[in-house]
Amino acid sequence: MSAVMSKLLRPRFASDNSRAGTPDETKAAFDGYLSYCGRYTFLGDRVLHHVEMSMFPNWSGGDQQRFVSLQDDKLILTARPAIVEGQEWIYEIHWRRAQAAAQA
């Protein structure tokens, strides 16, 4: 599996060199983006992502558990609650099945 999540409008760097960002530009880019990939295992109402690589290095080589639910044409993956700056956050990703292309 591979997941890539990004804020809709991330600020651009002043430079076109990805390694020449200022500390503030680099922080804003990191704060607005997350990606990871690896194998997965279904466990009933949960899926375990076995993270092989992640933009967040602490996840690489570990597992991330998500709760799974289906609603109509959506697959919903929900992470355990996380404390962010003293507030509880619940991250949820909604995947919608793509419509089949019309046959010519």
Whether 97 maps to a domain, the answer reads no
Whether 88 maps to a domain, the answer reads no
CB 35 within 8 A of CB 54: yes
Whether 6 maps to a domain, the answer reads yes
Whether 78 maps to a domain, the answer reads no
Q: Cα–Cα–Cα angle for 27, 29, 30, nearest 5°? A: 65
Number of domains in the chain: 1
DSSP 8-state code for residue 73:
T
d(CA 93, CA 104): 33
Whether 50 maps to a domain, the answer reads yes
Domain limits at 20?
2-70
Whether 58 maps to a domain, the answer reads yes
How confident is the prediction along the chain (104 residues), in pLDDT tens digits per residue? 998 989 989 999 999 999 999 999 999 999 889 999 999 999 999 999 999 999 999 999 999 999 999 998 899 999 999 888 899 988 888 888 877 777 76
Q: What is the pLDDT of residue 67?
A: 96
Bridge partner list, 88: 83
Whether 101 maps to a domain, the answer reads no
Bridge partner list, 36: 3, 54
d(CA 54, CA 35): 6
Whether 100 maps to a domain, the answer reads no
